Structure 1
């Protein structure tokens, strides 16, 4: 997942941890979209979370995928996620749709938040398709804080747009549902042509929508736009495509990372216990603290100011600009 152009609290490296939860409900919420309600089998309280958070869903076949929490964050005993069936995906969404049923148990890691709701005088939320999910709790939070906000929500058809009735019923004319088969592509110029003082734009959806919103917001003040994506942005070849050393400070071991091996694989072979999931630089699960050296960031998670700090990296995809990195492992 990618986060851009905002200055929230930086995400911190996490320790490996999962809990087993039970599927309490599975509901069809749109064409090709199901929601899962998860709870602890013993009824225990679940970890708190904040708007923009996601969890790692560990399926019974060992597949791990990330899904945004889109339920009521004030409900301490259930999580809700929504899953779009992706025919061209890697099989995780098909497993959820075709095989999971109420009563089944799954592993859950997190919650983690790389897409936090930063304070603002006003919000404009822009969603494309399943990108509505991380924005749902943000709208609820904005409503509780009596902060002005609007939602522009696009999708292929109204029937394919999850939660649109729930949103319209709850928030009325703050919600602008614009299915493509009725309205065409979202009229971003009408919403973004002129910067609005004090407004932060949050956008989540497919790559073309994110690119169009980024272009439309080019003249907005720095940090006015915050985006999240579910697939990795295109990456060029590493600037320094040569071998380098990585020291694992806690264990005292040093490994050589060759061009054909990821930092993640190299440190794991050296015995480091690093939790990972997507291994594409989009989920942030493997975020690791950098103690010395200069990483070459190739992820789709860290914001610009976090990349400039060079104090953490995603070892699944990132490399090194220096001959040696020292990691907090």
Structure 2
């Protein structure tokens, strides 16, 4: 693809968190990495390589309330020995291994230039699977925590390098700001033409509000209590055929944007969701848990994971979208309808399955659970 917008020849001194940036090498590396991640994200011809045993011991050194009315806290994590942490790019996330053994994914929302700390933010969800409650109740300052990653399933593609767009428009709803924050920070540092709409029920429910408003008139904050529920037009002002859109937030918001973009030729759309996608073209089947012999009925519109958790609430899972691999289970018998994008051909041949996404191609699966 021929670049339509040149990247600045000299990145800001602190962009990569190093004392002495190697300008030419780092710019070329950024371009190459962005191209690779965009190709993997869009085409998904080959499953991305994940390093399951890349575990980093960290400690909670700061805990802040970011939105009182939605009970959002941020955690700052550093290495106990003060060493620099692995680099990451906007859109990346960490897998947090919680004290109970649960594993949950949270977007990195700090500054990619800061190699000394990782920042994540978590909204308390009382009716959820217990992970957010544990973060809020158990991860106090001084608590050790192990993380896996960083990994990136929502990469930021620079205009002119993997993207034909000339400008970028961001849309964030509530806690959906977490993967977007590092993106607007990088776009601003690199001189990219960008804009943003940030929505929420009220200003008290929006995390990192003052940090976002610090970017000035590029950002429009729109709250339901002042303006009513936003339409797609409210979320996409000035978006034209030269624009790439990055959005993250409630499903109803991302669906409205996706519907609108279908009628916008030349507009690129990248989005991330925090909830499991609906089951498409599902059929009912049964799952047998080999270790107990229990039989579970899986309805046509429910995932295996969702039904297994009713019987085994401690079964491991995280993303529920088929890319983190936490819920991988070996199938002892039965035909698998693989619907993930990350398992290798060897893993599939060995009978591995991601129960958050994949299903049965027959009547019954026997799982090693």
- Measured against aligned partners, the alpha-carbon deviations of 1:160-190 in whole angstroms (never above 9, x if no partner) come to 1011111112x10011111111111124214
Distance (whole Å) between structure 2 residues aligned to residue 56 and residue 139 of structure 1: 23
Provide closer, same or farther for how the CA distance between residues 320 and 152 of structure 1 changes in structure 2, counting only shifts above 3 A: same
- The residue number in structure 2 matching 1:21 is 58
SS at match of 1:72: coil
Residues matched between the structures, number:
279
User: CA 1:213 to 1:30, structure 2 compared with 1: closer, same or farther past 3 Å?
Assistant: same
Structure 1 residue 213 corresponds to structure 2 residue 257: yes
The offset of 1:311, in angstroms, is 11
The equivalent of 1:250 in structure 2 is none
The aligned residue for residue 40 of structure 2 is 9
User: 1:217 offset after TM fit, Å?
Assistant: 1.2
Q: Could you tell me which of 39, 55, 76 is aligned with 2:94?
A: 55
Are 1:281 and 2:318 an aligned pair?
no
Structure 1 stretch displaced more, 184-193 or 53-62 = 184-193
Indicate the RMSD between aligned Cα atoms, in angstroms.
3.4
What TM-score, normalized by structure 1, do the two folds share? Answer: 0.74
Moved over 4 A (4+): 239-243, 258-263, 294-297, 310-314, 319-322
The match for 1:326 is none
- Please say if 1:149 is aligned against 2:194: yes
Instruction: Give the greater-gyration-radius structure (CA).
Output: 2
Residues 129-278 of structure 1: pairs in structure 2 closer than 5 A: 129-169=174-214, 171-192=215-236, 196-221=240-265, 224-238=268-282, 277-278=317-318
Classify the secondary structure of the residue corresponding to 2:171. strand
Gaps of 5+ in 1: 1-5, 244-257, 264-275, 289-293, 323-329
Q: Deviation digits for residues 255-301 of structure 1, max 9, x if unmatched?
A: xxx997979xxxxxxxxxxxx7326225534599xxxxx985545xx
| Residue 15 of structure 1, CA deviation | 2.5
Pair 242,159 (structure 1): closer, same or farther in 2 beyond 3 Å: closer
2:138 paired with 1:99: yes
TM-score (norm 2): 0.67
